Amino acid sequence: MRCGRRGWASAPSPRRWTIPDGRAARTEFLRAATAVLAAFAVSGLFSSLAPSFLREELHVHNVAAVGAEVGLLFIVALIAQVAAPERWIAGRRPASAFLVAGVAVFEAGLWTRSLPTFVAGTLLAGTGIGLAFRRGVGVAQRLADPRRRADLLSTYFLFAYTGTIVPTLALGLLDQTINQDGATLILAVAVVATTLASALSRPTTAIA
């Protein structure tokens, strides 16, 4: 503790990670957390790939154009969070469908060296990222103990930022041993598998 002008103040303490009590609640939270991990993995993978792909493969050297393409993913994700129909946000599968389609399409754009295909994949993936993130925050808030809501949300964001960091590091490591196309294909398959596992897992009704 320390003393300030207005008296004693507690030193800030980090939030502890936690998961909800009860089997059904844990399962629902972990599905939402896995979905946002996959969504942010797409974001990290895209952010790592887009600048070099545009410059080296499509010979786009205008910095503003490269930045606009990278920013497009995040703009679309933001719009999806605030403007998507409620039925898209409430269900698990719409976000996963957009993510899988987005990864498939922008991966096709990478292999075919097609800018329109890559942009189309960006739009689809951005929509999936926005839907997955908003739904996951809602699930975490609904399942959290009111006294420990920040703890559960910090766990949720831990999954999200893990999804951002790990694929980026993995891409750097794989790119040193195989070509970029092969490295991105491996990571794309891993992201799709994680997304489908989250979307297609059966709901749990039993409470521990």
**Average pLDDT of the chain?**
84
**pLDDT score at 207:** 40
Collect all residues with Cβ–Cβ distance below 8 Å to 42 and sequence separation of at least 6.
Answer: 99, 102, 103, 125, 128, 129, 191
Q: CATH 1.10.1060.10: does it fit domain 38-200? A: no
pLDDT digits (tens, 9 = 90+) for 98-156: 999 999 998 898 888 888 998 999 999 999 999 999 999 999 999 988 888 888 998 99
Strands 2-4 and 7-9, how do they pair?
antiparallel
Distance CA 130, CA 108 (A): 22
| More confident site: 4 or 45 | 45
Q: Which residues of 22-44 are buried (b: 16+ CB within 10 A; e: fewer)?
A: eeebbbbbbbbbbbbbbbbbbbb
pLDDT digits (tens, 9 = 90+) for 16-47: 668 888 888 889 999 999 999 999 999 988 88
3-class SS of residue 199: helix
H-helix segments, 63-114:
63-83, 86-90, 93-112
| More confident site: 46 or 160 | 160
**pLDDT score at 176:** 77
152 and 16 Cβ atoms separated by less than 8 Å: no
H-helix segments, 144-203:
149-175, 180-200
Nearest-5° Cα angle at 10, 8 to 14: 170
Percent of the chain at pLDDT > 70 equals 88
What residue ranges do the domains of the chain occupy?
A: 38-200
Distance CA 34, CA 27 (A): 10
pTM over 0.75? The answer is: yes
Classify residue 113 as left (phi > 0), alpha (psi -120 to 50) or beta.
Answer: left
